[in-house]
């Protein structure tokens, strides 16, 4: 696949190469979707004990490992935005352990700012997609994405909130390893499903440009709306609309979103 990518932007041959790459990615995504559903499942943290599992994972990644936040006595990383958030976990079905977490920070009024508005508002230089220009109930921010060390595959390619490391291959089978590079994608798709359920049309996130490129490769076309700034590492503000997400996803990852959405929809029906 790497051999093909270098030709993707070439004139004449570029469009053909891109179609070949997209076909290969979609085919792989279809297989990944099947494996993901077999071994992993989204869990919306409606209950306090599930939210605490999310806070523990965040503490492990953000405080113990990356040292972006100070350690807490209770070993749970929390902040003021958690009260206006929906939290989601990915559960490893064979063990019952949690393989990752993410939160969707919402805003119901002008006083409930998103983290990006409070800390990085001036970094958004595209006024057309600034959070202040949308109805408050239609915006959200995806943040605090974290994956425990034992579910990470690569030591390199670290990025804040979803750093990757060496997986414990004595615990997890070779077949299951195919799922783990896509746990972060599964978390983003889980967040997308929650946004769909809550009628959120505009989503923001602060992330490293290389993560945005990786997500774009699988069809999640986050739009860069400002320069890179220092915020838990070198990050830039990104935006995606509901329409951009649904039209950008490759067929294979649309299937993955569909499978995730079915499970999340059932959980919302039970708990609301």
Domain edges within the chain? 2-271
Separation between Cα atoms, residue 184 and residue 214, nearest integer Å: 10
pTM value is: 0.82
- End-to-end, the C-alpha distance of the chain in Å comes to 44
21 pLDDT higher than 80: no
> Which among 210, 100, 230 is positioned nearest to 158, based on CA atoms?
210
The tens digit of pLDDT for each residue in 115-167 reads: 999 998 888 998 899 999 999 999 999 999 999 888 875 443 343 334 422 33
- Choice among 44-48, 88-92, 143-147, 182-186 with the minimum mean pLDDT: 182-186
Residue 209: the pLDDT is 86
Q: Yes or no: is domain 2-271 CATH 3.30.1490.20?
A: no
Instruction: Find the radius of gyration of the CA atoms of the chain.
Output: 18
Q: Residue 256 in contact with residue 189, Cβ under 8 Å?
A: yes
Three-state SS annotation for 88-140: EEEEECCCCCEEEEEEEEECCCCCCCCHHHHHHHHHCCCHHHCHHHCCHHHEE
Q: What is the pLDDT of residues 89-114, one digit of tens each?
A: 999 999 999 999 999 999 989 899 99
């Amino acid at each position: 696949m790497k051999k093909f990518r270098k030709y993707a932007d070439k004139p004449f041959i570029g469009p053909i190469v891109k179609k070949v790459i997209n076909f290969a990615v979609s085919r792989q995504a279809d297989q990944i979707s099947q494996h993901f559903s077999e071994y992993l499942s989204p869990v919306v943290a409606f209950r306090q004990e599930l939210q605490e599992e999310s806070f523990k994972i965040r503490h492990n990644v953000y405080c113990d490992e990356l040292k972006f936040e100070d350690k807490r006595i209770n070993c749970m990383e929390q902040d003021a935005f958690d009260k206006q958030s929906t939290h989601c976990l990915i559960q490893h079905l064979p063990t019952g352990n949690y393989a990752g977490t993410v939160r969707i920070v919402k805003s119901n009024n002008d006083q409930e700012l998103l983290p990006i508005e409070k800390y990085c508002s001036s970094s958004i230089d595209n006024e057309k997609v600034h959070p202040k220009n949308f109805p408050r109930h239609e915006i959200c921010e995806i943040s605090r994405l974290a994956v425990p060390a034992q579910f990470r595959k690569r030591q390199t390619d670290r990025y804040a909130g979803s750093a990757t490391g060496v997986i414990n291959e004595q615990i997890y089978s070779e077949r299951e390893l195919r799922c783990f590079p896509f746990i972060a994608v599964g978390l983003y798709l889980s967040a997308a499903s929650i946004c769909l359920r809550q009628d959120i049309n505009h989503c923001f996130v602060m992330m490293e440009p290389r993560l945005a490129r990786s997500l774009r490769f699988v069809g999640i076309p986050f739009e860069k709306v400002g320069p890179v700034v220092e915020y838990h590492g070198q990050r830039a503000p990104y935006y995606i609309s509901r329409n951009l997400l649904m039209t950008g996803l490759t067929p294979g990852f649309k299937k993955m979103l569909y499978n995730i959405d079915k499970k999340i929809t059932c959980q919302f029906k039970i708990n609301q």
